[in-house]
Structure 1
Amino acid sequence: MAMESIIKELRHLLVTVFLTGLASFIVVPAITDVTIAALCPSQPQCSLAIFLSGFQQAATGVGAVVMTPLVGNLSDQYGRKALLTLPLTVSIIPLVILACSRATSYFYAYYAVKTVAAMVGEGSVNCLTLAYVADKIEEHKRTSAFGIIGGVASAAFVCGTLAARFLSTALTFQVSAVLSMIAVVYMRIFLPESVPVRASGLRQPMLDESEEAHVKEEREITDSAQRTSGIFKRLPSVRNAICLLKRSPTFSQAALVMFFNSLADGGLQTAILYYLKARFQFNKTQFADLMLIGGIGATLTQLLLMPIIVPALGEEKLLTAGLLVGCINILVYSVSWSPWVPYAIAMCSAFGVVVRPSICSIASKQVGPREQGMVQGSLSGISSFANIISPLIFSPLTALFLSEKAPFDFPGFSIMCAALAMIIAFIQSIMIRVDPSDVGGKGCADPLV
């Protein structure tokens, strides 16, 4: 019954998450082949592609570090729906470019626009989605709700990956662009704001274009001497995240786990596809098979298993177990000795998806209802900071150890290094102890007046 009530409460958000995820994931199996074909035709290994992917990941991280906490804080003031419109809209543009052509010139245009779009909105959708859930769902159901959101995203991943197997490359990007547009329209029409503006004390909605709203806003600014001192004083800043880190030891520990887990995930993401292509000559179809196996497992884990095991284990033990499984999986990936090994690991990696919902749930309980956007934005910003560092470390390592100039024969060395980061996250997770005195303390949000 608890799961049914969560789904009923979040049904429009779940549809939005599914459509957005489907549009994004349907192109993932094809993008590696498209990149290599555009940059290094007829070559199984392409160092330029690895470095460009790493640079894009780092640039995305830089943008997300700035934008995600800002968007999360602004959503506490203006509402989740208004802020969610921006990242969903900008994500359409790069898909339209590759829907037109995959030639080298079009790829570079896609690369540039995709990088800028990702800097603006890469982490914002996840941040705003989690904040929306925290607004709607009680604390004792929140971990399961986060898991359901993740499960729906995993289901979108499975459906997108499965569809990619049967669509041509050109049609893949066309379908993705159309789905992205449908997601934005559906969200704007059907998704209700999580907290009523007047009841919550939120400011006038950002997307309210009525003349009366603008006049009211101008009067509010004019009547307050503090507001006339400059708009930037009303904008959220990095000191909100610093305040959270100082105020709550539990949040600080969760943030540290998030950082090293994201560093490991980023290292694996940077290296794994190029590693498998160079070592076992995997192509689009085999990438899709791996993603499909992992996605099905992740969907079942988050939708069916998490609501059962969360009450029994609690977020802290669930987090530790998920990180332990992640450590083992990445270590085995790094020493893959046969093409069947990645398939076996993909089946075993499903339990690792419990990590992020557990961290987000632990952190959300450390603040009040008016700070959910801030805390989720801060976590996303920390994750994005790890994504800046990750490609700077793992892209050169991957390119070096997949080349003929490798200092020793270990193609999976960069993946092994990612496993070490995951081990650090695992050790830190063991030390997390939720202190009830942390919860509901003095707020860290910047005042509006």
Structure 2
Amino acid sequence: MTSPASGGPSATARKASFGFIFALALMNSVSFGIMIPVLPNLIKEFTGGDTAAASEWNLVFASTWGLLQFVCGPILGLMSDRFGRRPVLLISLFGLAVDFVFMALAPGLWWLYLGRILNGMTAASFSTANAYLADVTAPDQRAKVFGWMGSAFSFGFIFGPFIGGQLGEIDLRLPFVAAAGLTFVNWLYGLFVLPESLAPERRTKAFDWKKANPVGSLVLLRSRPGLLRLASVGFLFQLAHVVLPTIFVLYMGYRYDWGLAVLGWTFLATGVSGVVVQVFLVGPIVKRFGEKTAVILGAAAGCVGFAWYAWAPTGALYLLAVPVFAFTSLMMPGLQGLMTRKVEPSEQGQLQGANQALMGLSSIFGPVIFGEAFAWSIRHEGFHLPGLAIYLAAAMMGLALLLILGAARPPPREPGA
């Protein structure tokens, strides 16, 4: 459906498409969130209750997933530019559903590892969803829409870990069964309901393997003024946030002796705070101050929030940092809005593929940095600083803040818009 005046999607089509993709992202994030408080404890069960060993195995899982993302993310991104967003979303959701089945049935660590390999090869749901939204949203509205997409992830962060924590108290495998079922329903939703966003005439004419590799995809980031700096800010954000799935469940259990139920309530509070920022503050802040200011505020909040989490000697003081950390949710919507303005409509998938490759790199190095830092800090009595890994994440957010402060003002509109 097109508007006669513009030749692009009409307002009705844009709203309908956003509704479809938001619902898909919401279901996907809930199913992913269900496993957050449970998977580290399942790994810990397989390692005989050794927290440090569980942290190191978590490192192996996450790094393997990141390596496969680095290799396969650009391929999936370019596929979405050539064949459309919908087929790639369906591939990604199917891979995630199979991964959850492996987790539910795994008799040992190697089954879990095999599931992570499959998921790492196919995971592109959020990056492709971002390309989808860039297709159907005007450039000056993208930061607001990306904020809403971030809220879908936060809703998943609210309900997923809470559900996972409660089900995990019954049986550690039950949350994965629920996640597999929800993801399969999501796949059916995408198969029968989700429309395609990228019209044939706006797709790339051929699949270029030179661009479908990590190095080739990253060349795009150097081909536009300022894009590489923005991508570097995004990489530091992603790298710092790898600390959350890598050690936080183990960290809070070790430092505050929190069980699954308390962890579920903590993730609930964190998710609600993030949703408030994404739904009610991203749009007004971007409209009033611009996308770059939103990124600056988000980076500053991440730096302060992580440092507070690392320092907090009690659980109550830890929770006081949750509203501060919530403003980190301003960062990625503003950053995505800035980056999508710098590429052509037919390159949005390639851009998101490059971002996916950077996310893969962060998933390779992040678990090594944070997992080893956490394991080392709790094993060595002479330097007993459990929050060391989180202090490192705070430093990364501080570096991202310095980079965005030095970025030039963005152009008023994207090429070819």
TM-score above 0.5: yes
Residue aligning to 1:39: 47
Tell me: CA distance 1:4–1:49, structure 2 relative to 1, closer, same or farther (3 Å).
Answer: farther
- Residue 379 of structure 2 corresponds to residue 371 of structure 1: no
- Judge conservation of contact 2:43–2:57 (CA < 8 Å) in 1: no
1:192 counterpart (195, 203, 218): 195
Matches within 5 A, 1:13-52: 13-41=21-49, 45-52=50-57
- Residue 403 of structure 2 corresponds to residue 425 of structure 1: no
1:87 counterpart (74, 89, 92): 92
Residue aligning to 1:111: 112
Residue aligning to 1:206: none
Deviation at 1:35, TM superposition (A): 2.0
1:387 counterpart (363, 372, 375): 363
Consecutive unaligned residues in structure 1, runs of 5 or more:
204-226, 442-449
Matches within 5 A, 1:43-442: 45-100=50-105, 106-122=107-123, 124-167=124-167, 168-169=170-171, 170-197=173-200, 199-201=201-203, 233=209, 236-238=212-214, 240-403=216-379, 405-436=380-411, 439-440=414-415
Match of 1:432, SS? coil
- Judge conservation of contact 2:99–2:119 (CA < 8 Å) in 1: no
- Judge conservation of contact 2:70–2:361 (CA < 8 Å) in 1: yes
- Judge conservation of contact 2:273–2:326 (CA < 8 Å) in 1: yes
- Judge conservation of contact 1:94–1:110 (CA < 8 Å) in 2: no
- Judge conservation of contact 1:329–1:348 (CA < 8 Å) in 2: yes
- Judge conservation of contact 1:93–1:113 (CA < 8 Å) in 2: no
Deviation at 1:322, TM superposition (A): 0.5
Consecutive unaligned residues in structure 2, runs of 5 or more:
1-10
Of the structure 1 ranges 4-13 and 154-163, higher mean CA displacement relative to structure 2 is found in 4-13
The superposition leaves residues 380-422 of structure 1 with CA deviations (integer Å, 9 ceiling, x where unpaired) of 211221221122222221101112x244232211221221111
Measured on the aligned residues, the alpha-carbon RMSD in Å equals 2.4
Residue 23 of structure 1 aligns to which amino acid in structure 2? Answer: S
- Judge conservation of contact 2:166–2:260 (CA < 8 Å) in 1: no
Residue 237 of structure 1 aligns to which amino acid in structure 2? Answer: N
Task: Compare CA radii of gyration and give the structure with the larger one.
Answer: 1
Tell me: CA distance 1:437–1:238, structure 2 relative to 1, closer, same or farther (3 Å).
Answer: farther
Matched positions, count: 404
The superposition leaves residues 324-346 of structure 1 with CA deviations (integer Å, 9 ceiling, x where unpaired) of 00000111111121121222222
Of the structure 1 ranges 150-159 and 235-244, higher mean CA displacement relative to structure 2 is found in 235-244
* Distance in 2, Cα, partners of 1:161 & 1:347: 18
Tell me: CA distance 1:5–1:433, structure 2 relative to 1, closer, same or farther (3 Å).
Answer: farther
Identical columns (%): 21
Deviation at 1:252, TM superposition (A): 1.1
The superposition leaves residues 33-92 of structure 1 with CA deviations (integer Å, 9 ceiling, x where unpaired) of 222122224xxx522111111111111111111111111111100000011111110111
Deviation at 1:375, TM superposition (A): 0.8
Deviation at 1:284, TM superposition (A): 0.8
Match of 2:197, SS? coil
* Distance in 1, Cα, partners of 2:212 & 2:411: 27
- Judge conservation of contact 2:241–2:393 (CA < 8 Å) in 1: yes
